Amino acid sequence: MLDTIIYNGTLVTVNADFDILKNGWVGIKDGIIREIGVTSPDDTLPKAKNSINAGKWIILPGLVNTHTHLPMTLFRGLADDLPLSVWLNDYIFPSEKKYIEPASVRLGSLVACAEMIRSGTTTCCDGYFFEDDVASSVYSCGLRAVLGQGVIDFPAPGVPNPSENIKAAVAFAEKWQGVSPLITPSIFCHSPYTCSSETLKKSKDAASANGLLFQIHVAETQAECDQIQSAHQASPLQHLDRIGILDPDTLLVHTVWTGDEDIDIIAKHNAKISHNPSSNMKLASGIAPVVDFLDAGITVGIGTDGCASNNNLDLFQEMDLMAKLHKVKTHDPTAMNAETVLKMATLGGASAIGLDDKIGSLEVNKSADIIIIDAEKPHLVPMYNPASHIVYTVRGSDVRDVMIEGKMIMRDRILLTIDLDDILKRMIRLGKEIKT
């Protein structure tokens, strides 16, 4: 007998044929999707211990956020509308120095998990400091995540001596390897402008030796390109290529300033990209040439970035904004259509972080990471095209239920793994300290 059956919905599978099945159902056992079907009026559904009626609305794979800094919920809206250097040097770095410690990281991460679950994200790829505490929070919420302890050539929260950074990152990965099928350790190297070639190479070697995803911010701003050009007579991507950082297990975050040659380099190595449109717009960094990436066959996922530069973690909003941004950038309303965008937020993101064998689509033998969208609302009727609806109209607040690996973690918008009242109260209290 199945553990759970989710029925009476429009299944947006995001499989290879992008099948959309009306009156669809998904059968789940031991956290895995075992059967998918379509119900006719006379059909009897397979037996299951639990039945979840999707209320005729949308059943979708959980969304994948390919770039976060979860604890930065602590600083959401603390400093907006500022130049990147002022924002970072006068607000974010000092605040991190003062307020980032294990307890605040745990709390900030719990609040981030609550926001992600409530907006339909079931997997994130995160990099920060005190990542062990991020991992504890994420683990307790039942969210799926790829998590990397940060490496940077500066004194960092929790790691005052930069020479200890790689060791700390590897120790984090070793501690969390195999703890849970939901937690995949990784290494997060900050960027080519904050890490020497030696640091980049050593941390990539450590990632490769342990079979870990290597995350790195790269080519985010024009200033970074100028700096790398001046130091290494190369673009950031050329620099990473020359020192041997690029391979299919490298996730390149931002990649705003990338010319044709850079795109060829990324494609040649089958490196992956995390596109963060809101953050790049808000900090006025620029617009990544995502249509060109896709044309070159590069795998691209969507990320929100830390919510201090966004300022939220709602991937539905990110999909809408991204689709529109690339249409106006390319002067082509047919560019970046809803199906393309939805794939990027699900299977593309899963592929970018190395989890596409497990998640990103509703298919037999994949993990049951599933969300149900309540579309019985004025902004969601009628529904002509589910993909278009999901990208252009649905918002995070329309997500009704969230399941990860077969376990319900939100039901009727009630979080089942987080004490919401408690974390809200504590976050409000901590915010008063941070503001003063």
Residues 80 to 109 in contact with its own copies, rule: CB under 8 A: 80-84, 87
Q: Which of 284, 297, 365, 412 binds its own copies (CB under 8 A)?
A: 284
What residues between 115 and 174 interact with its own copies by CB under 8 A? 115, 118-119
Q: Which range in 15-23, 186-194, 280-288, 353-361 contacts its own copies by CB under 8 A?
A: 280-288
Shortest Å, Cβ 262 to its own copies: 20
Nearer to its own copies, 43 or 376 (CB): 376
Residue 321 binds its own copies (CB under 8 A): yes
Residue 225 binds its own copies (CB under 8 A): no
Among 258, 254, 252, 148, which Cα is nearest to 203's?
148
Nearer to its own copies, 256 or 271 (CB): 256
Shortest Å, Cβ 339 to its own copies: 8
Nearer to its own copies, 112 or 402 (CB): 112
* DSSP states of 243-295: TT--STTEEEEE--S--HHHHHHHHHHT-EEEE-HHHHHHTT-----HHHHHH
Using alpha carbons, list the distances in angstroms from residue 268 to 52, 209, 212, 263: 45, 22, 20, 8
Q: Which of 234, 287, 291, 416 binds its own copies (CB under 8 A)?
A: 287
Nearer to its own copies, 355 or 423 (CB): 423
Nearer to its own copies, 103 or 179 (CB): 103
Amino acid at the residue 147: L
What residues between 327 and 386 interact with its own copies by CB under 8 A? 327-328, 330-338, 376-379, 381-385
At 118 the three-state DSSP class reads helix
Q: Which of 286, 363, 407, 416 binds its own copies (CB under 8 A)?
A: 286
Q: Which of 38, 171, 231, 424 binds its own copies (CB under 8 A)?
A: 424
Using alpha carbons, list the distances in angstroms from residue 78 to 135, 152, 221, 262, 435: 24, 24, 22, 35, 8
Among 328, 335, 324, 250, which Cα is nearest to 292's?
335
Among 9, 41, 44, 36, which Cα is nearest to 23's?
9
Nearer to its own copies, 99 or 293 (CB): 99
Amino acid at the residue 88: L
Cα–Cα distance, 426 to 436 (Å, whole number) = 16
Q: Give the DSSP H/E element, type plus range, for residue 12.
A: strand 2-12
